Amino acid sequence: MLRRCSRCNLEKKLEEFEKNSSKSFGFGCRCKKCAAKRSADYRQRKPEIGLQYTKSDHAKVLNRVACNRYYHKNKEKRSVARKTWAVKNRHVISSHARMRGRRLKQATPDWVSMKDLLQIYSNCPAGQPVDHIVLPKHPLVSGLLVPWNLQYLPALINISKSNKFNGVNP
């Protein structure tokens, strides 16, 4: 079976095409030669990208995809497991909540108007929890609970943001 390459326009055997599982027959539209030339050209045009994206980055991406797939496959099982854990460990959860309350109270200076803060929380759009730009729980800095340290975030970004502080505000 022959296939025409979209680049050099030559008809070649299927085996001579780059593999691409998302395309028909499992092969891409370029032959291997053209595909190799294209990625070489790209590396030449944007050498910084080739340097930035290493094999270990790729492994990380693959790992994240696998974790994601596992999570979605086992969503119900995970949520049952989480609920069972929560019932058994009520004291852990309530102590976390108490500590969080204490931390937030410590992070709120006397001169901040409670009205302003409550307004930020009550105007919060659905699905976008209020986020501390600098987190209150951090060994080096403490993000104050003040209006200019709060922002609305789509929930997913909030989860992916970790407790890191790199010395500058984002």
| Residue number with CB closer to Zn ion (8 or 66) | 8
Interface pick for Zn ion out of 4, 8, 43, 99 (rule CB under 5 A): 8
When the beta carbons of 41 and 57 are compared against Zn ion, the nearer one is 41
Contact between 153 and Zn ion by CB under 5 A: the answer reads no
Q: Which of residues 93-152 bind Zn ion (CB under 5 A)?
A: none
Please check whether residue 132 is in contact with residue 149, taking contact to mean a CB–CB distance below 8 angstroms. yes
Q: Does 36 bind Zn ion (CB under 5 A)?
A: no
Using CB under 5 A, which of the segments 28-36, 76-84, 110-118, 119-127 binds Zn ion?
Answer: 28-36
Q: Does residue 35 interact with Zn ion by CB under 5 A?
A: no
Stretch that binds Zn ion, among 32-40, 61-69, 72-80, 127-135 (CB under 5 A): 32-40
Which three-class secondary structure string do you get for the chain?
CEEECCCCCCEEEHHHEEECCCCHHHEEEEEHHHHHHHHHHHHHHCHHHHHHCCHHHHHHHHHHHHHHHHHHHCHHHHHHHHHHHHHHCHHHHHHHHHHHHHHHHHCCCCCCCHHHHHHHHHCCCCCCCEEECCCCCCCCCCCCCCHHHEEECCHHHHHHCCCCCCCCCC
Number of residues that bind Zn ion (CB under 5 A): 5
Q: Return the structure tokens found at 140.
A: 């080096």
Region of 30-38, 68-76, 126-134, 156-164 interacting with Zn ion (CB under 5 A): 30-38
Q: Of the listed pieces 8-16, 122-130, 133-141, 152-160, which binds Zn ion according to CB under 5 A? A: 8-16
Contacts to Zn ion by CB under 5 A: 5, 7-8, 31, 34
